[in-house]
Amino acid sequence: MILLDATIVRGLAASLAVGILIGIERGWRQRQASDGGRVSGLRTFALLGLAGGLAGLLPELMAAVFCLAILASLVLGYRSALQRQSSLSVTGTLVAVITLALGFLATRNMVSEALALGAVTTLVLTMRGKAHAMLKGMSEAEVESIARFALVALVVLPLLPDQSYGPFDAWNPRQIWMVVVVVLGLSFLGYVASRRLGPERGIMITALCGALVSSTAVTAAYARRLRDGDGPAGALIAGIALASLVMFLRVQVLTMMLVSSAGRSLAIAMIPAFLVGALTTLLAVRAGRKPNEASELSLGNPLDFRPAVLLAGLVAVMAVIARWALDRFGDEGIIVALGLTGLMDVDAAVLTLAGMPKETLDARTAGLVLAVPVLANTAFKAVLALVIAGPRNQGWKAAAPLLASVLASAIGIGAASSLL
């Protein structure tokens, strides 16, 4: 009996806590209203949460009647307020219903869930100003991108079968599409950050945000500016180096998410490259520390559906090539296949390895193999910077940090081979 009483008290306390938490935000929101002009505030929501908790202790029929009576009184109260004010948001009514429901859950052995949802509800309510500002600043293309991402992640993904098909059983539709969802999500974060911060915040911030979408795009854009003398050379070179630095981190994060067993050996192989990249970035920043403004990079829309389909196709093709190379040449075949993939897209190389059976490579070898496309992609960007900027201008200075990172990566792979 003591345990039952303690459970009831805990549930009622949680019901009251949820109501108070939401009521604080609601009361603060209406703090400027005159006495008697508030539809509901701290006391009302605290009592609503407690009422929901009491309903949870009643038999189901009585609980239903009790909740319906409370909801009817809420509707009548908001109807009266609407007649007086001629304009009233429906948010308050919905929040009242949610508060009642959370109080009910708290006394139905779902205390943690009720408290968590109460915190989330309060957070959403406090984001009103930011949410409105965000919506006003969004373009039609961005709204369409969100809808496309919802389609890719919430509609297409669950419908795809989770089993192997095709040559060498290389194609798992759901697995391929899942990694596409992950990459698109990361790309969209970088796209939004770049759009919101704006190019006026400086070359370095633009490079940082743009590299989340494509470090190759940043390299090409800044190499063109170096060739044309459009901006401080030191800052542009630092932006190219920083973009590659972000790529190292992005690949490591993606590997930990999709091929976690390979994360340790990849990190050991990439530490020298990361340190060299960080040092060269710092030196370039110090050399070009002048006020500057960055012109906007043309990054495109990372949630355009066509690139997503192309990426899925690339991963599917490379999965077959990697399986064939493994069957024909062993581990060396996979290294060549992923290296070629990395020239086009480092993320695709990670996705290809993630789609292979776990027993294909041991953890140590998998991490070292993933370092190869990082090397290939970094070397490709070095050549790109040199060719676009021109060897007689700043091309060699732009390529030097990337080439140094490639050398450091090679040393890191050798160190990892001996340490692991």
Helix (H, G, I), strand (E, B) or coil at 171: strand
Report the C-alpha dihedral over residues 289, 290, 293, 299, rounded to 10 degrees.
-20
Instruction: Name residue 94's amino acid.
Output: L
Least confident of 30-44, 138-152, 190-204, 266-280: 190-204
pLDDT over threshold 70, residue 78: no
Closest CA to 397 of 227, 215, 259, 265: 227
Most distant pair of Cα atoms in the chain: their distance:
87
Closest CA to 230 of 386, 383, 393: 393
pLDDT at 77 over 80: no
- Residue 320 vs residues 177, 189, 315: alpha-carbon distances, Å: 16, 30, 9
**Structure confidence by residue, pLDDT tens digits, 122-136:** 888 887 766 666 666
- Mean pLDDT on 377-397: 81
Query: Sign of torsion, CA 198 203 206 210?
Result: positive
Residue 36 pLDDT greater than 60, yes or no? no
Section 375-395 average pLDDT: 81
What would the two tokens of residue 251 be? Answer: 């690949």
The pLDDT score that the predictor gives to residue 109 is 87
Point out which residues pair with 171 in neighbouring strands: 165
- Report pLDDT digits (tens) over 349-366: 777 777 766 666 677 777
Whether residue 199 is predicted with pLDDT greater than 80 in this model: the reply is no
The predicted pLDDT at position 146 comes to 77
Separation between Cα atoms, residue 381 and residue 396, nearest integer Å: 12
Give the lowest-confidence range in 68-72, 86-90, 170-174, 257-261. Answer: 86-90
